[in-house]
Amino acid sequence: MTATDPSRALPLDPSLAPPGTRDFRDAGGIPADRWRADQNGETLVPTHCCFCGVQCGMYLRVDRGGKVFGVEPRNHDINRMRLCPKGINAYQQVNHPDRLTAPLMRLGRDEEFREVSWDEALDHTVSEIRRIQGEYGNDAFGLLGGASLFTEKTYLVGKFARVALKSRHVDYNGRLCMVSAAGANKLAFGIDRAGNPFSDILLTDCLLIAGSNVGECFPVMTQYLWGARDRGATLIVVDPRETAVARTADVHVALKPGTDSAFFNAVLHVVVAEGLADEAYLAAHTTGWAEVRQTVADYPPARSAETCGVPEEQIVQVARMFAGAGKAMAWHARGVEHHSQGVENCLSIINLCVATGNIGKPGAGYGTITGQGNGQGGREHGQKSDLLPGGRSITNPEHRRQICEIWGIDEAELPPAGTSMMEMVWQMQREEIRGLVGICNNPFVSLPNYATVKDGYDTLQFHAQFDFFLSETAANAHVVFPVTVWAEDEGVMANAEARVVKHNKAQEPPAGVRTDTWVMCELARRLGAGDKFEFPDSRSVFEELRIASAGTVNDYYGITYERLEETGGIAWPCPTTEHPGTPRLFEDGGSYHPDGRIHLQVVEWHPPMDPYSEEYPLSLTTGRTVAHFLSGNQTRRLGALVEQTPRPWVEVHPSHGFRNGDPVRVVTRRGSEVLPALVTEAIRPDTVFIPYHWPVPTSANALTIDALDPRSKIPEYKVCAARIEAAERIDEVPAPPTAPGQQAYPETQVSRTDPLPPTSPQGRGTAERS
Amino acid sequence: MMGRTIFIDPGRCIGCQACVSACRECDSHRGKSMIHLDYPDEGHSVASLPTVCMHCEDPVAPCAEVCPADAILVTADGVVQQADTTRCIGCANCVNACPFGVPKIDLQAKLQMKCNLCYDRTAYGLAPMCATVCPTGALFYGTLEELQAERPGVQVADSFTFGTTTVSTGVAMVVPADRVQWPVPGGLPVVEINGRDVR
């Protein structure tokens, strides 16, 4: 019997999709010549997907009228024609009926938005910035950027905050992504990026994937995993859930959420105990090994097995498999990074790689798989609160002097380090930050502990957002600036390999829409800093960025637009225009620390911040689903993707007694919500899972805890204490917000082209059928 | 054995539905997908597999054989085309005849639609859209030799017996070397694969 039998389908049919969900096909906006075989005059614009950190190459199909109307696979090094459903449907954003095409403004949150001129929106914003900063000081106004922006724009975000706003408070939503890995890499290696290119995966003998649902979050990367296995590599997956990749692994370690470093310390314990450490490498190239060795001695497998809820033999097996392989690699993602000990978790994996000599060789090394398209590049040039361009530290006097010289400002004018994204929300609650501009982010869905986030934003006296759809956060703002989608501008992004790739412009933006670059420069001009923001386009920003990064670890100087177009991407550091880039780090055995050694760090496991109790005995963990991207502001509007995964669910083990589709109330110390059960043996009995792309009342982040890692300040999304109970009804999925005037589009249901009933999301669940 | 064709490898499928979305992009069926995902072991595993038309060869396409309107054409290169819009009467005989559960009926249009192996692409030497984008190679387009060069030791099946009827297909499925029993989506229980009794 198959899932196409109606009696076996979850109640996740299209009628549960948010009303009004549509793509341009459903809304009647089909270009006149779409679906015709004779596409004469069609052009293909080479570019990359706007979504995850894999950055697949693609062509956008452009019709004779200059409109993007489709996608074609592109044989780029990274993806070799492959695309995932998000990439295939991404083009539908460009001419989507929900696009914002005029600035929106209102004076109070109880008013309706009205369309205003660009001058009115900009002038009002500038006057509010001046008023708030005049009354409460420069730091009372903050800026939050995004890691889906081109790197040029993230550079401008950092410069705009410090030079035009003169505020210390700038941060970005990459803070919610891979900053734990960044922090760990910086501590251990002195450089913040993956050590190896994806192609090295094909050369490894043993691949360890930790906390990464590769199949759903980075589907195109799976071809590298399968390629390695074709060549005989073993696969170890560490994840509380049996993901599609874990299903096929040689060893699947289904550990209890929040116990990663206890597990990896125990693995290293076995490596040491069995004499599998590469002592010669450690002696020649590292510091701190003696302390690490001493620490892991306190993590015998039996004890960690109990902590992690996994068999002791599995710990021994993983140690022997990883350390015994000729070449081994470890790749990790948010599963180990989204914790109050995220940096420590990453360091425990680095310790394992380095202790076994698996570093700096083809097929041996480490990598972090970036969630956002520009999660890597988005922080490299000054958007993060503690960083200046080129990855310079804002607290380092020499680094400050260098950047002030390039920016042409007095060093005393450069603000000190600010706080992280979540901390800024707490500051809003305390009225320390009273005004905010958000660019390309949607904290109402993406930050943990929604009630706190809403309270913080509601306390703001003025809030402006840049976006191309009216996100849940933009719907809270006073001013919304309509800006370009990725296909309407050019710029670079750095993918998970630190390979810088160039996105090209495929279409002119709609009338009334401006680039983020134009809006920032115009605001800067009206704030009196126009001479520092004379950037007519992305290229001019990139030229300044190249110079600003020259000589740093994050050296982009040798990368030019022309070289990127010729080569298909260059990995930084790339110090000269003749330099080929650096796809693989540490080939000489050194590191980027001044002493040239890898600094191993002691890691001690501690429990998650939200304690379990009789009332809250389970672990709630969250993650992504393949059809949606991050806060869903983009993908929850595309019919095909909504049809694929119309709503969230709660994944529960059959031992709880629920039947598939039952209403289940999930309760944490922050709140509760009711979702349909997806009953499956693919999750631990003590753990429940909710995908996080939806807003309240179906928001995973209404339940998650806003505890932060003390070093990276990443929230602990991946574990909090919870309980589940039977409920009467299922919470409805709200429709994405739309701007005034957009109601003119017909309300359409998602139209299934397939007469078969829908299957469960990602095919999970339905344990009662067993 | 088969020439250039699609090989389905369920062991690699991650259930992402890139194939489903890609199929919609094919110009020949106007924004509709001719692929569906099946989940053979729900509740226990996340296993999934894409179902495309198997392009039956012997007997020649049951869907075409039962079509009262002669609307389903089989081209010389073995591609079972979707129904000719000028002939199809939407009777659904083809749906009932197909052992793999592939053809779909648009009841409003009274029209059958199915995978035509991206004839607009394969005729020009390109791979079908689904196999082009498949992130994992669960759908592979090429020859058996090309598949085996990439995946040493791989075994495939292109002959399936349902009850007393054996169907040979143009599209092949990868089967595990050590376990030949394999559920075929949407159809009768498979009793024999490549001449081996798998009951």
Contacts of A578 (CB under 8 A, 6+ apart): A558
Min mean pLDDT across A307-321, A327-341, A710-724, B114-128 is at B114-128
Read off the amino acid at residue B75. Answer: T
Query: Residue A405's pLDDT is what?
Result: 97
> What is the three-state SS of A449-491?
CHHHHHHHHHHCCEEEEEECCCCCCHHHCCEEEEECCHHHCCE
Nearest-CA distance A241 → chain B (Å): 10
Query: Residue B55's pLDDT is what?
Result: 95
C-beta of residue A372 within 8 angstroms of C-beta of residue A148: yes
Contacts of B178 (CB under 8 A, 6+ apart): none
Give the best residue of B35, B100, B107, B133 to mutate against chain A (max A CB count within 10 A).
B133
Considering only the beta carbons, identify the residue of A89, A220, A243 that sits closest to B135. Answer: A220
Query: Residue A38's pLDDT is what?
Result: 46
User: Mean pLDDT of all residues in chain B?
Assistant: 85
Average pLDDT of the residues in A602-629: 97
Q: Which residues of B touch A627 (CB under 8 A)?
A: 17
Contacts of A549 (CB under 8 A, 6+ apart): A380, A381, A389, A390, A391, A555, A556, A557
Q: What is the phi-psi region of residue A504: left when phi exceeds 0, alpha when psi lies from -120 to 50, beta otherwise?
A: beta
Query: Residue B192's pLDDT is what?
Result: 64
Res. A764: pLDDT tops 60: no
Q: CA angle, corner A240, sides to A234 and A241, nearest 5? A: 80
Contacts of A405 (CB under 8 A, 6+ apart): none
Q: Residue B80: CA atoms inside 13 Å, Cβ hemisphere, count?
A: 28
| pLDDT cut 70: percent of chain A above it | 91
Q: Which residue has the tokens 């044989």?
A: A75
Q: Which residues of B touch A214 (CB under 8 A)?
A: 14
ipTM above 0.95, yes or no: no
Res. A15: pLDDT tops 60: no
Both tokens of residue A193? 């990026």
Read off the amino acid at residue A397. Answer: P
Helix pair A538-549, A151-159: axis angle to 10 deg: 70
Considering only the beta carbons, identify the residue of A25, A73, A755 that sits closest to B133. Answer: A73
Q: Which of residues 44-83 of B touch A (CB under 8 A)?
A: 44-48
Pairing assessment for the beta strands A141-145 and A618-623 based on DSSP bridges: unpaired
C-beta of residue A515 within 8 angstroms of C-beta of residue A483: yes
Q: List the beta strands (DSSP E) in A576-712.
A: 598-599, 618-623, 650-652, 663-668, 671-679, 687-691
Residue of B nearest to A213 (CA): B14
User: Mean pLDDT of all residues in chain A?
Assistant: 91
Q: Which of residues 120-179 of B touch A (CB under 8 A)?
A: 120, 127, 129, 132-137, 150-152
Considering only the beta carbons, identify the residue of A3, A88, A760 that sits closest to B18. Answer: A88
Please tell me the distance from the alpha carbon of residue A639 to that of residue A634, in angstroms, as a whole number: 11
Query: Could you please report the per-residue DSSP string of A609-622?
Result: SS---SSS-EEEEE
Q: Which residues of A touch B151 (CB under 8 A)?
A: 230
Please tell me the distance from the alpha carbon of residue A637 to that of residue A95, in angstroms, as a whole number: 12
Please tell me the distance from the alpha carbon of residue A49 to that of residue A560, in angstroms, as a whole number: 20
**CB spacing of B137 vs A37 below 8 angstroms:** no
Both tokens of residue A700? 């995973």
Considering only the beta carbons, identify the residue of A39, A756, A763 that sits closest to B39. Answer: A763
**CB spacing of A37 vs B20 below 8 angstroms:** no
Q: Which of B180, B176, B170 is nearest to B153 (CA)?
A: B176
C-beta of residue A269 within 8 angstroms of C-beta of residue A300: yes
Cα dihedral angle (A530, A532, A533, A535), rounded to 10 degrees? Answer: 130
Nearest-CA distance B119 → chain A (Å): 12
Res. A272: pLDDT tops 60: yes
Query: Residue A657's pLDDT is what?
Result: 97
Q: List the beta strands (DSSP E) in A182-337.
A: 206-210, 234-238, 251-253, 286-287, 328-332
Maximum Cα interatomic distance, chain B, rounded to a whole number of Å: 47
How does pLDDT run across A428-479, given as a tens digit for each residue? Answer: 999 999 999 999 999 999 999 999 999 999 999 999 999 999 999 999 999 9
Query: Residue B125's pLDDT is what?
Result: 79
pTM of the full structure: 0.92
**CB spacing of B46 vs A220 below 8 angstroms:** no
Average pLDDT of the residues in A98-112: 96
Q: Which residues of A touch B31 (CB under 8 A)?
A: 25, 34-35, 753
Please tell me the distance from the alpha carbon of residue B139 to that of residue B35, in angstroms, as a whole number: 11
C-beta of residue B127 within 8 angstroms of C-beta of residue B137: no
Q: Which of A437, A398, A443, A376 is nearest to A194 (CA)?
A: A376
Please tell me the distance from the alpha carbon of residue A395 to that of residue A417, in angstroms, as a whole number: 7
Please tell me the distance from the alpha carbon of residue A370 to that of residue A500, in angstroms, as a whole number: 13
Residue of B nearest to A70 (CA): B25
Query: Residue A256's pLDDT is what?
Result: 98
Nearest-CA distance B59 → chain A (Å): 25
Q: Which residues of A touch B47 (CB under 8 A)?
A: 244, 247, 763
Query: Residue B183's pLDDT is what?
Result: 44
Please tell me the distance from the alpha carbon of residue B43 to that of residue A42, in angstroms, as a whole number: 46
How does pLDDT run across A334-363, given as a tens digit for each residue? Answer: 999 999 999 999 999 999 999 999 999 999
Nearest-CA distance B184 → chain A (Å): 9
Q: Which of A53, A33, A54 is nearest to A42 (CA)?
A: A33
**CB spacing of A216 vs B14 below 8 angstroms:** yes
Nearest-CA distance B18 → chain A (Å): 4
**CB spacing of A759 vs B39 below 8 angstroms:** yes
Nearest-CA distance B27 → chain A (Å): 5
Average pLDDT of the residues in A127-151: 98
Nearest-CA distance B21 → chain A (Å): 6
Q: Report CA torsion sign: A621, A624, A630, A632.
A: negative
Burial status of residue A56 (CB atoms within 10 A of its CB: 0-12, 13-18, 19 or more):
buried
Query: Residue A19's pLDDT is what?
Result: 52
**CA B185 to chain CA mean position, Å:** 10
Both tokens of residue A469? 């759809």
Res. A13: pLDDT tops 70: no
Please tell me the distance from the alpha carbon of residue A573 to that of residue A190, in angstroms, as a whole number: 13
Q: What is the CA radius of gyration of chain A?
A: 25
| pLDDT cut 90: percent of chain A above it | 87
Considering only the beta carbons, identify the residue of A214, A644, A760 that sits closest to B42. Answer: A760
Res. A753: pLDDT tops 80: no
- CA separation, residue A436 to residues A439, A458, A491 (Å): 10, 11, 25
**CB spacing of B133 vs A83 below 8 angstroms:** yes
Query: Residue A741's pLDDT is what?
Result: 80
Res. A136: pLDDT tops 80: yes
C-beta of residue A50 within 8 angstroms of C-beta of residue A633: no
Enumerate the β-bridge partners of residue A556.
none
Average pLDDT of the residues in A562-572: 94
Q: Which residues of B touch A35 (CB under 8 A)?
A: 27, 30-31
Average pLDDT of the residues in A367-378: 94
Residue of A nearest to B187 (CA): A1
**CB spacing of A70 vs B25 below 8 angstroms:** yes
Query: Residue B180's pLDDT is what?
Result: 46
Nearest-CA distance B12 → chain A (Å): 7
How does pLDDT run across A483-520, given as a tens digit for each residue? Answer: 999 999 999 999 999 999 999 999 999 999 999 999 99
| B177 vs A179, residue with greater confidence | A179
How does pLDDT run across A198-234, given as a tens digit for each residue? Answer: 999 999 999 999 999 999 999 999 999 999 998 899 9
Query: Residue B107's pLDDT is what?
Result: 82
Nearest-CA distance B58 → chain A (Å): 25
Please tell me the distance from the alpha carbon of residue A17 to that of residue A607, in angstroms, as a whole number: 38
C-beta of residue A222 within 8 angstroms of C-beta of residue A214: yes
Considering only the beta carbons, identify the residue of B14, B133, B183 that sits closest to A215. Answer: B14
Confidence class of residue A607 from pLDDT cuts 50, 70 and 90?
A: very high
Res. A761: pLDDT tops 70: no
Q: List the pLDDT tens digit at each of the 199 positions of chain B.
A: 468 999 999 989 999 999 999 998 877 777 788 998 988 888 888 889 999 999 999 888 999 999 999 999 998 888 999 999 899 999 999 999 998 889 988 888 888 999 999 887 887 778 899 999 999 999 999 999 999 998 888 888 888 888 888 899 999 999 876 544 444 444 445 566 666 676 5
